Amino acid sequence: MTTTRRKFLTSGAAVGASALAAPAVNAQSAPIKWRMQTYAGPALAVEVVDQCIKDFNEIADGQMEIELFYADQLVPTGELFRAMQKGTIDAVQSDDDSMASPTEVTVFGGYFPLGLRYSLDVPALFNHWGLDEIWKEEYAKVGVKHISAGSWDPCNFATHKPITSLADLNGLRIFTFPTAGRFLSRFGVIPVTLPWEDAEVALQTGELDGIAWSGITEDYTSGWANVTEYFLTNNISGAWIGHFFANMDRWNEVPPHLQKLMKVCFDSSHYYRQHWYWNGEANLRVNETKLQSTTIPDSEWQTVEDEAHKFWDEIAAESELKAKVVDIFKRYNDTMVKAGKPYRYS
């Protein structure tokens, strides 16, 4: 009787536990589904976003799934912001500039001329100098959640002809970002806008003379090193500022623990890029031979640095908020210069 009673109690407990667990099982049968589009093409996306999405989907364990799309697969990159704002897509990985964000901070996304020397400048500015709060406030005004910011590679020229002086830039048709193109036009560069996947063919046909879209790591990863010959070691920015964004309504529908998981996975992506690009920028210059490096002397490049600060002042004059962000860039860079090596070498 005792044995039978124990079996009965055990069976009853199991049935009770099963009944209590049923709602969780039912909840998992209908996971939250998101669609995210990145600015990156397939070859680059493998490095800058694929793994963190795979990690998130695995750890979310059926509660949520993010489907990732590459550059221009769902909508053109220039329409990413509007599509996310409307809820056509749920999330985006891009810089502000490329996705045509209507916010006050758009001009600082991507490559803000000479604003950053190293990739670590980006997380320092966002996590310790107030940029994260500013971005979150600006995007909340337009129904978008700014999840996090991270750094990518520097912005160098890869071209068909060698560049050894500023005069060599004059008349070059260059594929680049909107703000970078606006700045480079001061030196005679003709900025060209076209879909990311068309850049390689345009370089082959001569429609483009070169690109100022990335550092040497992306030149090799994206295939541009196969269709250009020279790499200018001077860069107009030491790091690209990119972000993860989401439609605010869709973000608010996600349970807090999955929001936190998303942030952690995206932060892992930011960290991976820190060392992937840092290694690639040096290793490829030294150990690969497709691109021949050239340099504009420091004394002449100082003209570009001086012009960049004039550009900052012009941006600051456009609005109170832009002036606030420019002031942060100025104070940050001043601190880095005063700190000396290794923060700044000149």
CATH fold of 156-238+290-339 reads: D-Maltodextrin-Binding Protein; domain 2 (3.40.190)
Asked whether residue 6 carries a pLDDT value surpassing 80, the answer given is no
Nearest-angstrom CA–CA distance, 219 and 221: 6
**Per CATH, is 31-152+240-281 categorized as 3.40.190.170?**
yes
Nearest-angstrom CA–CA distance, 206 and 36: 33
Residue with tokens 């269709």: 227
Sheet holding 292-294, edge to edge: 190-192, 173-176, 210-214, 156-159, 230-232, 292-294
Sorted by where each begins, the domain ranges of the chain are 31-152+240-281, 156-238+290-339
Q: What is the pLDDT of residues 9-55, one digit of tens each?
A: 444 444 444 444 444 444 456 899 999 999 999 999 999 999 999 99
Average pLDDT of the residues of the chain: 92
Q: What is the pLDDT of residues 158-187, one digit of tens each?
A: 999 999 999 999 999 999 999 999 999 999
Nearest-angstrom CA–CA distance, 112 and 219: 20
Query: Sign of torsion, CA 328 330 331 335?
Result: positive
- SS3 of residue 156 by DSSP: strand
Q: What percent of the chain has pLDDT over 70?
A: 91
- What pTM was computed for the model? 0.89
Nearest-angstrom CA–CA distance, 60 and 52: 12
Spell out the residues 6+ positions from residue 338 whose beta carbon is closer than 8 angstroms to its own.
none
CB 302: neighbour CB atoms within 10 A? 12
H/E run at residue 231: strand 230-232
C-beta of residue 322 within 8 angstroms of C-beta of residue 315 = yes
Q: How far out from the chain centre does Cα 43 lie?
A: 15
